[in-house]
Amino acid sequence: MKRILYILAALLLLVSCGEKNGGKTELTLEQKLCTEWHSTFLPVDGDIYISFREDKTFELYQQIGQGAHRLYRGTWNLEETLLTGKYNDGEAWAAAYEIIINDKQLTMTSVNDAAEESVFAREDIPQEVIQTCETVVKSH
Amino acid sequence: MKNKTFLTFTFACLAAASCISENEAPVVSQDPARDEILMTKLTGNPTAEHMKGNLLVFLDKETTLRIEKEGIGTVTSELFAEVEVSDFRPALRSPKNRELARELGLDRWFSVSFDESIPVHAFASELAKRPEICALQFNSLPRLASDLKAVPFSAGASPCAAKEKSIPFDDPYNGDQWNLVNIGDKSIAKTAREGADVGVKDAWTLTAGSPDVVVAVCDAPVKYTHPDLAGSMWVNEAEKNGTTGVDDDDNGYVDDIHGYNFISDGAIRWDVEGESGHGTHVAGIIAAVNGNGIGISSIAGGSGKGDGVRIMNCQLFEGPNGGGDKEMADALIYAADNGACIAQCSYGYPAYIFSSDDNYISTLPLEYRALKYFTDPSNSNHPSIGSNLVVYAAGNEATSNSDYPGALPVCVSVTALGPDFLPAGYTNYGRGCNIAAPGGDFMIGDDLDGYYNKCMILSTSISETVGDYVWMEGSSQACPHVSGVAALGISYAGKLGKKFTGDQFRDILLTSVNDINHLLTDGIKPYGEYTIGLKIYHNRMGTGAIDAWKLLMQIEGTPSVMVKTGQMCSADISEYFGESAKDLTYLGIDVRTEAKKALGLAAAPTVEGGILKIYCTKNASAKITVSAIAGGSHLGGGDKIGGTEIKREISIVSRGVHSSNGGWL
């Protein structure tokens, strides 16, 4: 009887560990990317929010220097770990980026220039930023 | 012969005047043809209209000190032993900032009154013999920058009354205020242009004013009981709650509840025959109460919650009578001492009177010093602006100079536009003019339908003389548009907790503009039975047309200019210098050593046609300062009339990654 209880306990432990480690299916990199991000490190002073959406569109709210955030829209594409994109005005991103997503942190490194590394944390875009941003006309 | 003598005399006076240093008495300039003593001391311009029976004298320090110690009586009897004077007193009341007043020599100016039948020149000759008197100045009379034509507004008489409301306040007449929101209504004029306004509609979503911003309307009386203005008046609570006839707040002025009447030395009054309503009209453009369900809307008249900017009235004209240089100076000092951060001045001396900044400064030293007093940082009256702002009308002589004192670099001089975004036929332009704004242009209207008045500016006025609401036009009307937008800007800076030096604020004001130069090419504009060529105005109306939204955006801050490291980059700097950036004359770029090192500049950056060219070799961000001229192609100052230097600090971000549309990725 004691032995049966040990076996049951062991089974329960296994079940609970299984749920902890992936009761849900492991997310792909693309799925992990599809959320809202806020810059925690940029090569220059600035403040950036990016929303990558499942329909392969993005919204970029950037404040470099002073003034309200500026909104750029466009589309993105991910091949393995290489992220590329295009603004809605037709201009391609200035670089392609190698991305790494660890836990709730996104690191984007330009393939052209390793010094161009930006780090983002998972964070909702504040309503204030959305409401007060200036849309960059060219990228509509 | 007579003419020759007159010309010699005039020339000598101007020569004498031009020799006067900024803060000291005139220096000697001799002309054997005239009374030598008078020539060395006279600072007024005898060709300008001046007050009879009155002179301003500048005493030496010793005599001024004696007056302080012994009182004015003893000195008066000594000074005027040979002549009869009816009054002798300090030209200015006691300025609060005594140290600055002394530094500027304001304490040494005195006013002498005498029998009006005695020619001022003759009297000045006599006084000039006294060694204690270092200088004498005619009390020159400026004039309002308007033809004072006021056309009563008739509610419901215009087709605009029924058109779609484009202003978000329930003030019934605001459909006729193209100056605030111009939808290109052809019933105003066939050439009316959409957007030819002050760009305030969107700005109102951010601020519609703030009661801690006080604008001194130095002008004819402001009817402070007007139902559309009463709620916007500055109130001196001590006087309001004090005793009539008593200087309750001990500021030297009795019963100055909403300002002061510098002409009749007492309460503001608008019941004098011949009153034009000019001051009330100007005040309404700035701060008629918004959203009160009556009359008109205004630039900074609040959001309907009593939160607009406040109007202080320094009354300098009373019916047909106007004050002189002394009264103008007194008013500026009153405004500074009692809380105004903007002096709105739609008057001036005609452009042909003065030949240069130096000429003005030496001819009317008292007023110039009062301007310095008002704009000195120690007299700043709002925490968001390091020194007060002075805005003047450019004048209506249709000449290629601004009136003075607006032409001075310390002032902002405003030219006038019609609803077609083109220069009004009357406006001055060119040298000394800094920025343009709606002033109305009666002559472009389509008078066939009888609605031609609508090309003018609708604002408040005086029911007792001309009506509660009237149409007027002039650079007098353009000027309060810039004052109103500036007041809105200071309100917004206060709301955001931002602080600017006086120069910084003036520079962003002068670069918050829409381009009009593209309209000022080879074309012509109809002007009554005539036409006006437009090319003559190209780049001569100031930096462009004032835009309230752009000012608020610049107050929020301007994004960095992003360039790519390792290559020559061209960057548009119109966000910093306004839409007319391409037409400005640039004076240079200041790059500090640290910035040069940080950005690894391969060569000195250059700027031309509104494009900054810069070659950075390092990824970094740093600031550079670009200087340009606001108004024309050369600077004023000294022996010239010209534009004002504006400086903008531009943040440069140099990265290895660069998108031409400015996007980060």
Q: What is the pLDDT of residues B2-18, one digit of tens each?
A: 333 323 333 333 333 33
Nearest to A43 among B564, B655, B665 (CB): B655
Does B664 contact A60 at a Cβ distance shorter than 8 Å?
Answer: yes
Q: Can you give the C-alpha Rg of chain A in angstroms?
A: 20
Q: Return the residue matching tokens 């037709």.
A: A90
pLDDT digit string, tens, across residues B410-419: 999 999 999 9
CB contact under 8 A, A91 and B660: yes
Q: Write the CA distances from B109 to A53, B104, B142, integer angstroms.
A: 73, 10, 19
pLDDT above 50 (res A19): no
- For residue B39, the model assigns a pLDDT of 46
C-alpha angle B582/B627/B603, rounded to 5°?
90
Cite the DSSP H helix spans in B295-436. Answer: 325-337, 357-363, 365-375
Quote the mean pLDDT of chain B.
Answer: 87
- Would you state the pLDDT for residue B657? 81
- B559 closest CB neighbour out of A43, A48, A64: A64
pLDDT digits (tens, 9 = 90+) for B128-141: 888 899 888 887 77
- Closest residue by Cα to residue B51 from B125, B132, B114, B134: B114
For B70-107, write each residue's pLDDT tens digit: 888 888 888 888 888 899 999 998 899 999 999 999 99
Cβ contact (<8 Å) for B558 and A65?
Answer: yes
- The confidence score (pLDDT) of residue B46 equals 56
Q: Output the pLDDT for position B162.
A: 41
* B530-544 residue pLDDT tens: 888 999 999 999 999
- The tens digit of pLDDT for each residue in B550-598 reads 999 999 988 888 898 888 999 999 989 998 899 999 999 999 999 999 9
Tokens of B633: 């192609």
Q: Which residue stretches of B233-293 are H helix?
A: 237-240, 278-287
Q: Which pLDDT belongs to residue A38?
A: 96
Name beta bridge partners: B459. Answer: B470
In contact, B28 and B107? CB cutoff 8 Å:
no
Give the residue among B433, B430, B358 at the shortest CA–CA distance from B394: B433
Q: Bridge-partner residues for B312, per DSSP?
A: B216
Torsion of CA B59, B60, B66, B72, to 10 degrees: 0
A-B C-beta contacts closer than 8 Å: 91
Domains of chain B in sequence order:
7-140 (no CATH), 151-553 (3.40.50.200), 558-655 (2.60.40)
Per-residue pLDDT at A37 exceeds 60: yes
Q: Which of B363, B432, B514, B508 is nearest to B20 (CA)?
A: B363
Secondary structure (H, E, C), chain A: CHHHHHHHHHHHHHHHHHHHHHCCCCCCHHHHHCCEEEEEECCCCCEEEEEECCCCEEEEEEECECCCCEEEEEEEEEECCEEEEEECCCCECCCCEEEEEECCEEEEEECCCCCCEEEEEECCCCHHHHHHCEECHHHC
Instruction: Indicate whether B259 pLDDT > 90.
Output: yes
**Contact yes or no for A139 and B663 at CB 8 A:** yes
Is B657 in the A-facing interface, judged by CB distances under 8 Å?
yes
Distances B231 to A80, B160, B240, B426 between C-alpha atoms, Å: 66, 27, 15, 33
Predicted TM-score (pTM) of this structure: 0.86
- Nearest-Cα distance to chain B for A82, in Å, is 13
CB contact at 8 A, B262 and B331: yes
In the predicted structure, residue A5 carries a pLDDT above the cut 60: no
Separation in Å, CA of B622 to nearest CA in chain A: 10
CB B457 within 8 Å of CB B438 = yes
The answer for B517, left when phi > 0, alpha when psi is -120 to 50, beta otherwise, is: alpha
Quote the percentage of chain B above a pLDDT of 90: 63
Strand ranges (E), B374-475: 389-393, 412-417, 435-438, 457-460, 469-472
Count of C-beta atoms within a 10 Å radius of residue B375? 21
The reported pLDDT for the residue numbered A3 is 59
Peptide bond into B405 cis (omega under 30): yes
Residue B189: pLDDT above 60?
A: yes
Mutate which of A49, A63, A66, A136 to test chain B, going by most B C-beta atoms within 10 A?
A66
pLDDT at B555 (0 to 100) = 94
**Ramachandran bin of B203, using left for φ above 0, alpha for ψ from -120 to 50, beta for the remaining angles:** alpha
User: Strand B310-315 vs strand B259-261: parallel, antiparallel, or unpaired?
Assistant: parallel
B622 close contact with A: CB closer than 8 A: no
- CB–CB contact A94 B659 (8 Å): yes
If one compares B392 and A136, the residue with the highest pLDDT of the two is B392
Task: Judge contact between B315 and B219, C-beta under 8 A.
Answer: yes
Contact B663 A60 (CB under 8 A): yes
Across A60-81, average pLDDT? 91
Is A72 an 8 Å CB contact of chain B? Answer: yes
B620 contacts chain A (CB < 8 A) = yes
Q: What percentage of chain A exceeds 70 in pLDDT?
A: 79
Q: What's the rounded Cα separation, in Å, for the pair B413 and A78?
A: 57
DSSP code of B202? T
If pLDDT is split at 50, 70 and 90, which confidence band does A20 have? Answer: very low
Q: Name the least confident of A25-39, B475-489, B611-625, B648-662.
A: B648-662
Confirm if B491 and B421 have CB atoms less than 8 A apart.
Answer: no
Per-residue pLDDT tens over the stretch B14-33? 333 333 344 443 333 333 34
Q: What is the percent of chain A where pLDDT is above 90? A: 54
Which residue from A104, A134, A86 is spatially nearest to A38, judged by alpha carbons?
Answer: A104
